Chains A and B, each alone.
Chain A
Amino acid sequence: MNKRDDQVNNEGTATEERSLPHRRVHLHSEHQQQGEQKPADMPISISIQGLNAYYGKFRAVKNITLDIKAKQVTSVIGPSGCGKSTMLRCLNRMHEETQNGRTDGKVLLDDEDIYDKRVDPVAVRRKIGMVFQKPNPFPTMSVFDNVVAGFKLNRFWVNKSELADRVELALKQASLWDEVKDKLNQSGMALSGGQQQRLCIARTLAVEPEVVLMDEPCSALDPVATLKIEDLIRQLTSKYTIVIVTHNMQQAARVSDWTTFLLMGDDRAGELIEYGETKQLFTNPKDERTEAYITGRFG
């Protein structure tokens, strides 16, 4: 076939081409497809309203208002020192455990302010669990006991006969069961770094929280272990709301549905600069500062 035939066959005659309606490019968001919820209609899990966090007199997080969507992954990104982890710790009242740590503003979980005086912080932490940067299984405990510790620490009552089932379920949810089912009595410290982190996730999931907060959960892990945790995060969204702080922007782009960008203001307090669907924020951010940060031009 010569080039001319090719041109005519591929493109049709010009008259035909012009008489055809122009091809439509899909501009609408995926959410607008039939049967899917629009972002605005999605149920809210945590509503942050005018949140400020302080270390003594220093304000580390400034006036953050943000709705965390239920059963979605929300990532929090921003340069070091912008208050990401502090904000995260405010969501389950861990910040107040820090020396001179205090907060004001509201954090509503299912419309109830977790900072209400009548609310028990331990009960909050049972509903809003947390996974930390470095895997921290209890060193003297077995794999099994590490998960059980999740119940005990959170005053979560479990019938003894159910205990083994609950541990198995938590380990399965954390995609760890197949790897540890034959060594439940071995020390948690004998596991690899990635397995230890999944054990910590199992410990958190054991008490059936609504929300799981993750503070750079992969920063101490190798790339393979990191991808396993990322897969796990995606799986967990069928049941849990997840908020993840990460330094790794590609990770935020891969695992989260929503992304929050924080940046330190002139007063060195972290402010919310942009919040949106991850796809939008990473392809077409609205704020120039977000653009500069995610393209690696500062931060």
Chain B
Amino acid sequence: MPRVDYDRELRSLQDDLLMLGSMVEKAITKAVDALKRRDIETSKQVINEDDAIDDLRFKLEDKCVEIIATQQPIAKDLRVVFSILHMAVELERMGDYAEGIAKISIMIGQEPPLKPLIDIPIMADKAVALLRRSLNAFLNRDVEEAKRICKDDDDVDNIYDQVYRELLLFMIQDPKTIQRATYLLWVAHDLERTADRATNIAERVVYMVTGKMAETNSKYMA
């Protein structure tokens, strides 16, 4: 006995989540690109566009509440709905990181560059790749890929450590660089958190498919 409306509503939740993911992916890429090119106008655009991300997140939450109230999903359906709710929050927060990076770009303005931006764009590429992969794992219900994503987050952490040490060194050597170095440290931190949140999405994929809730370092992810 197919449940046509119900299944359509579940699919629509999934479509909205993927749309939200793609908006966030675009925002992060755009924010880091604007930072690199010192493009204040694009940074302002990223800030303005965050409202659309927030709106879609609330729309998704509303839909989840409605489907719980009217369709009483259980078992895997219930896990899908709750995972989507959780993922929507993760994505919205990633959108805030993109907005944060755009605000930093504006604060940096036309100050002379501390150093050529190399590691931060690499971090951004890797974080965005993890995000894209986590959404694909969600779409394909791919537990193994989700587990790999959690492991691959270490790459981003390692670059972050490297950027952190490097910026600290700048600050020690020349206190005049503290402000500019701190700005960049915030950017790196935002990207590190973005990657972490991509792994949170991957963990939700594992829960959604297997029913097991676990952090990436638990035995369930081994």
Contacts and interface: CB of A to CB of B under 8 A. Distances in A.
Interface in A256-272: none
Contacts of A298: 1
B75 interface: yes
A282 B79 CA distance: 11
Contact of A253 (B74, B77, B99): B74
Contacts of B217: 22
Interface in B59-84: 72-79
A153 to B, nearest CB: 40
A25 B74 contact: no
A18 interface: yes
B193 interface: yes
Contact of A14 (B189, B215, B220): B189
Interface residues on B, range: 35 or more
27 contacts: A3-B99, A4-B100, A4-B103, A4-B186, A7-B97, A7-B193, A14-B164, A18-B157, A22-B215, A22-B216, A23-B215, A24-B218, A27-B212, A27-B220, A282-B74, A283-B74, A283-B79, A284-B76, A284-B210, A284-B211, A290-B75, A291-B75, A294-B74, A295-B76, A295-B77, A297-B3, A298-B1
B214 interface: yes
Interface of A: 3-4, 7, 11, 13-15, 18, 22-25, 27, 249-250, 253, 282-285, 290-291, 294-299
B180 to A, nearest CB: 15
Please list the 5 inter-chain residue pairs (A to B) with the smallest Cβ-Cβ separation, ordered nearest first.
A284-B211, A22-B215, A25-B213, A298-B1, A14-B189
A285 B216 contact: no
Contacts of B92: none
Contacts of A290: 75
A283 B164 contact: no
Nearest to B210: A284
B154 to A, nearest CB: 10
B25 interface: no
Contacts of A299: 1
B192 interface: yes
